[in-house]
Structure 1
Amino acid sequence: MKCIIGLGNPGPKFDKTRHNVGFMVIDELLRRQGWTLDKEKYKAQYTVERIGTEKILIMKPMTYMNLSGEAIRPLMEYYDLDIEDIVVVFDDLDLPPGKIRLRKKGGHGGHNGIRSTIDQLGTKEFPRLRFGIGRPSVPMPVPDYVLGKFQQDEEAVIQDSISYAADACEAWMEKSFNEVMNDFNQ
């Protein structure tokens, strides 16, 4: 079984904010496949589907970003997933808007959702898809920026990149993570 986890904050207040690009990638993936998050357990909404012979778990933690690991770890334990069987999709201030980067491991880089995931899993060696949101062009607190919506001039590149990130997730359903990194890292 492979598991794709999109990080974000639940509720309409956070829809389409920079911090929710992980959720947006999951939504695009679900839309393409005709799937819905029809299960709820361990503070997460998820579905288990099948692509060929591979079972695929698609998940959104409902804990709010800073506690994401509290939903990820118990669901991984319940389904007996190994660390290499997951990919975590999240926003990254250090990449330009719309740029994606796949990595097999890394630190949290100040991202509290990844910090929580590292703390709960006890390792930073898990596959991830970082989705660039850039840094604010004017001085502002980081929380205000990440909880803000994309600017109108960013929307086209963000939509294209959400589609590209969903392409990478679909590729991982059938290929190794190394192959997907080689194919999709920009």
Structure 2
Amino acid sequence: MKLLIGLGNPGARYARNRHNVGFMTVDAIAERHGLGPWRRRFQGEAAEGRIGGEKVLLLKPQTYMNESGRAAGEAARFFKLSPADMVVFHDELDLAPGKVKVKQGGGHAGHNGLKSLTAHCGAEFWRVRIGIGHPGDKAKVTAHVLGDFAKADAEWLDPLLAAMADAAPALVSGNEAKFVSDVAQAMHDVRAPAKEPAPKREKPQPAPRAPEQEAPSAPTALGEKLRRWLTG
């Protein structure tokens, strides 16, 4: 069994925050693979089902980001899962918007959700790092993370969520490299400029024919007699 955890903050006011892209991802996975319904469990919202033959539990902790580990730890203990059975979807400042990377273990780099998960579950869980970009100024990070995605972001965000949902079977089967590759290929296809149709080849037109000249008509017998008479 795999425990797929999306990180975010509960409530409508945070729903479109960049910090909530983990919630958005598990919502997309649930919809794509027909999991659910969502129920209140483990201090969060949970949905069960199967993806590619593997039993999974999707979890959205409702404890707020900095206490995400409480909900995840409770679910992991109930199902007797190790950190290696856990996959966490979270926002990543150090990746460009739309980029996705996967790794196991590591630090939390100041991410309060990862910090809480490490405290409650250990550090060796899998992380799906979803790029939201950096505002370029450390003083603007909080406003950026807790700000909503712009309308223009939908051009890459919606296809990205769909691509991760489509590639989820590879992730739960343990083929993280294929998951990343499939998502990258899908995003490349989205961003690739449409090919312009080849110009239509016109059929060559035949050269205009010169106007036909009528051959002089042969002299008539009467005309010939008249000519002879005049010339003596």
TM over 0.5: yes
What is the aligned partner in structure 1 of residue 217 from structure 2?
Answer: none
Superposition map of 1:93-108 within 5 A: 93-108=93-108
**Which portions of structure 1, spanning 4 or more consecutive aligned residues, are displaced by more than 6 angstroms?**
none
Q: 2:42 & 2:138 partners in 1: Cα distance?
A: 38
Structure index of larger Rg: 2
| 1:135-173 alpha-carbon deviations (Å, 9 max, x no partner) | 115675322111111123322112222222223323223
Higher relative contact order (Cα pairs below 8 Å, separated by 6+ residues)? 1
AA of the residue aligned to 1:136: P
Question: Offset at 1:55?
Answer: 1.2
Superposition map of 1:171-182 within 5 A: 171-173=170-172, 175-180=173-178
Superposition map of 1:4-153 within 5 A: 4-51=4-51, 53-121=53-121, 123-137=122-136, 140-153=139-152
Q: 1:51 & 1:28 partners in 2: Cα distance?
A: 13
Q: 1:156 & 1:12 partners in 2: Cα distance?
A: 22
Q: 2:138 & 2:129 partners in 1: Cα distance?
A: 23
AA of the residue aligned to 2:127: R
Q: Structure 1 pair 5/50, CA: closer, same or farther in 2 (3 Å)?
A: same
Q: Give the RMSD, CA atoms, in angstroms.
A: 2.0
AA of the residue aligned to 2:174: S
Q: Structure 1 pair 41/182, CA: closer, same or farther in 2 (3 Å)?
A: closer
Report the TM-score, using the length of structure 1 for normalisation: 0.89
Question: Offset at 1:184?
Answer: 4.6
AA of the residue aligned to 1:9: N
Question: Offset at 1:178?
Answer: 4.2
Q: 1:23 & 1:184 partners in 2: Cα distance?
A: 21
Q: 1:54 & 1:152 partners in 2: Cα distance?
A: 35
Q: Structure 1 pair 52/178, CA: closer, same or farther in 2 (3 Å)?
A: closer
Task: State whether structure 2 residue 181 is matched by structure 1 residue 183.
Answer: yes
Q: 1:155 & 1:38 partners in 2: Cα distance?
A: 25
AA of the residue aligned to 1:5: I
What is the aligned partner in structure 2 of residue 163 from structure 1?
Answer: 162
Q: Structure 1 pair 163/33, CA: closer, same or farther in 2 (3 Å)?
A: same
Question: Offset at 1:51?
Answer: 3.6
Q: Is contact 1:101–1:129 with CA below 8 Å preserved after alignment?
A: yes
Identity in percent: 38
Q: How many equivalent pairs are there?
A: 184
Q: 1:11 & 1:159 partners in 2: Cα distance?
A: 21
What is the aligned partner in structure 1 of residue 201 from structure 2?
Answer: none
Question: For 1:96, what is the secondary structure of its paired residue?
Answer: coil
Gaps of 5+ in 2: 185-232
Gaps of 5+ in 1: none
Q: Structure 1 pair 180/22, CA: closer, same or farther in 2 (3 Å)?
A: same
| 1:19-40 alpha-carbon deviations (Å, 9 max, x no partner) | 0000111111111122234332
Q: 1:67 & 1:147 partners in 2: Cα distance?
A: 16
AA of the residue aligned to 1:146: V
Q: Structure 1 pair 142/55, CA: closer, same or farther in 2 (3 Å)?
A: same
Question: For 2:63, what is the secondary structure of its paired residue?
Answer: coil
Question: Offset at 1:182?
Answer: 6.1
Q: 1:146 & 1:157 partners in 2: Cα distance?
A: 17
